[in-house]
Chains A and B, each alone.
Chain A
Amino acid sequence: EDQVTQSPEALRLQEGESSSLNCSYTVSGLRGLFWYRQDPGKGPEFLFTLYSAGEEKEKERLKATLTKKESFLHITAPKPEDSATYLCAVQAWEEYGNKLVFGAGTILRVKS
């Protein structure tokens, strides 16, 4: 059974204090690992897709990395507007459907 575990459950940072969020996964055959951002009361918004170990992607203050067992979302010099819930999901190779299995998310709060 495919599983995703995110840690920590919640993270409080001061503005400018860099940190990382962790996503550990087990999947039968990884087709892709996805990061989403979700603001309160809204649907998740796509950030990154990673396909193979060693791959990295960046967007503004965010950088996602992937190994064979986990992914990290590094946040450099965060700002209050980075406060959100960050979701990690994996997709296995399947005949059809493109299902994603999600972790429970990390709630990030950045204080000024």
Chain B
Amino acid sequence: DVKVTQSSRYLVKRTGEKVFLECVQDMDHENMFWYRQDPGLGLRLIYFSYDVKMKEKGDIPEGYSVSREKKERFSLILESASTNQTSMYLCASSLSSPTGYGYTFGSGTRLTVV
């Protein structure tokens, strides 16, 4: 069964801490994504990567950075966590396909910043 695995289901961090969220996929997908999900706002794209070492800003990149050193792993970094970054974080991956392809999502990491 193909999978996207996020390292933590729940995290509690303090304001100002540097936070790492890890995502690993075993499907040899080219594309990987980080979204955050908040009630009433839906899923908003933070960053995505279409190849190793390549990254592109999404709609809300401020306060975040990413790293993709290997094809299967995409990390989201909160440089200095703030309370407004409390959210559900979802990682996803997909193939590059000329006709479009759905994402496979991880189970999510619920981050609370106190």
Contact assessment for A46 and B45 in the assembled complex, using a CB-CB cutoff below 8 Å: no
Q: Mark A18-50, 1 if CB is under 8 A from B, else 0.
A: 000000000000011010100001111110010
Q: What count of chain B residues pass the 8 Å CB interface test?
A: 31
Q: Is A73 an interface residue (CB 8 A)?
A: no
Cα distance, A46 to B45, chains bound together (Å): 18
Closest Cβ of chain B to A1, distance in Å, is: 10
Residues of A close to B107: CB separation below 8 A: 41-43
Q: Which residues of A contact B (CB under 8 A)?
A: 9, 31-32, 34, 36, 41-46, 49, 51, 87, 89, 91, 96-105
List 4 additional A-B contacts (Cβ < 8 Å) besides A36-B102, A98-B97, A100-B103.
A34-B103, A43-B105, A97-B56, A102-B43
Q: Mark B81-95, 1 if CB is under 8 A from A, else 0.
A: 000000000101011
From A31, A87, A96, contact of B43 by CB (8 A): A87
Contact assessment for A105 and B42 in the assembled complex, using a CB-CB cutoff below 8 Å: yes
**Known A-B contacts A43-B107, A105-B42; A98 and B94 likewise in contact (beta carbons under 8 Å):** yes
Q: Is B31 an interface residue (CB 8 A)?
A: yes
Determine the residue in chain B with the shortest Cβ distance to A9. B40
Q: Is B80 an interface residue (CB 8 A)?
A: no
Determine the residue in chain B with the shortest Cβ distance to A89. B43
Contact assessment for A49 and B48 in the assembled complex, using a CB-CB cutoff below 8 Å: no
**Known A-B contacts A102-B42, A104-B40; A44 and B105 likewise in contact (beta carbons under 8 Å):** yes
**Known A-B contacts A97-B50, A97-B56; A104 and B104 likewise in contact (beta carbons under 8 Å):** no
Contact assessment for B100 and A49 in the assembled complex, using a CB-CB cutoff below 8 Å: yes
Cα distance, A31 to B108, chains bound together (Å): 26
Determine the residue in chain B with the shortest Cβ distance to A96. B50
